[in-house]
Amino acid sequence: MEPKELIFNKVNGSFVDGYGIRTTIFLKGCPLHCKWCCNPEGQSFQQQLRYLADDCNGCGACVPACPKGALEIEDGKAVLDRGKCNLCGKCIEACWPGALRYAAQLQSVDEVFSSIIREKPFFDHSGGGLTIGGGEASSFPDFCLALIAKCHGNGIRVAIDTCGYTLSEESLKALDAADLLLYDIKGIDEKQHIENTGVSNKRILDNFHHFTEIGKPMIVRLPVIPGCNDQPEDQEKVIQLLKNAPNVERVDIIPFHTFGSVKYGELGMPYPMPEDAKPLTEKDVADYAQRLRDAGLNVQIGG
């Protein structure tokens, strides 16, 4: 049977997820829980209900629609008791402003493919293609392999955005099948990595060395997060890792931002970063970029 997975976003015309003009799809589910994650809806492998309080006009239509009594109106806004909710979706149908919605849609490989094939002229013109992100794309190897095969059969190149934490041979096969990897390095110190993401980085680094050995083209992404991995000694360890990896075509430094913080509230999740987290200054980021360039790497800020 054709694989189906939960997709929580799709972006056409992206310039930041690989080379050229790209379409990026985001698969729902990730083995990591990074403190700075800007796509918290991509963490759980399960469907979730988002409640966008700003879009709620207090009409109350969702309250009688809910068979579980999980919704009520307080001070002109709906209030959701997630402990009672079974994700039946009745309130979504009742809520015409769209304040209640599923976090993701279940889609087949065919459905995804038919929505991206129309972008092919842009891919061809720009050297772009499809990027499969998440969440963690390699957690869905059957879906990725089937979609990559379809894209390759139609002349579309595919990148996978990965945290590198692949647990199975099938997942490695999916990453191997991509033309390009966008590979996140979130830190070299193992203890710090566990604190920041919930998992050891041993497998991530082992897989990084595997892909270097086989010469897999790679853009490495370096999130630079205050209090997590932004000290000079953290940066030096990253430089030492990357300078001996000829398959790394580019390094993208991703400065800390809080763009996704509002989504935590919509999902009923606490935002893990401290409110007063201070990102590196532009000068500090530029200095880091220069030290990477001095090590012979091609560096971009942002991406």
**Chain contacts with ligand SF4 (rule: CB under 6 A):** 49, 56-62, 65-66, 68, 70-71, 78, 80, 85-91, 94-95, 97, 99-100
Q: Which of 37, 27, 29, 69 is nearest to 186 (CA)?
A: 37
The smaller minimum CB distance to ligand SF4, of residues 27 and 91, is found at 91
Q: How far is the CB of 33 from ligand SF4 (least distance, A)?
A: 24
Q: How far is the CB of 92 from ligand SF4 (least distance, A)?
A: 7
Q: How far is the CB of 250 from ligand SF4 (least distance, A)?
A: 43
The smaller minimum CB distance to ligand SF4, of residues 94 and 241, is found at 94
The smaller minimum CB distance to ligand SF4, of residues 51 and 208, is found at 51
The smaller minimum CB distance to ligand SF4, of residues 60 and 227, is found at 60
CA atoms within 13 A on the CB side of 37: 26
Q: How far is the CB of 60 from ligand SF4 (least distance, A)?
A: 5
**What is the longest distance spanned by two Cα atoms in the chain?**
64
The smaller minimum CB distance to ligand SF4, of residues 21 and 91, is found at 91
Q: How far is the CB of 134 from ligand SF4 (least distance, A)?
A: 24
The smaller minimum CB distance to ligand SF4, of residues 25 and 95, is found at 95
CA atoms within 13 A on the CB side of 213: 6
Q: How far is the CB of 90 from ligand SF4 (least distance, A)?
A: 4
C-alpha gyration radius of the chain:
21
Q: Which of 133, 153, 78, 104 is nearest to 6 (CA)?
A: 104
Classify strands 22-27 and 129-134 as parallel, antiparallel or unpaired. Answer: parallel
Token pair in block for residue 168: 């199975």
Q: How far is the CB of 58 from ligand SF4 (least distance, A)?
A: 5
The smaller minimum CB distance to ligand SF4, of residues 66 and 174, is found at 66
The smaller minimum CB distance to ligand SF4, of residues 80 and 151, is found at 80
Q: How far is the CB of 54 from ligand SF4 (least distance, A)?
A: 10
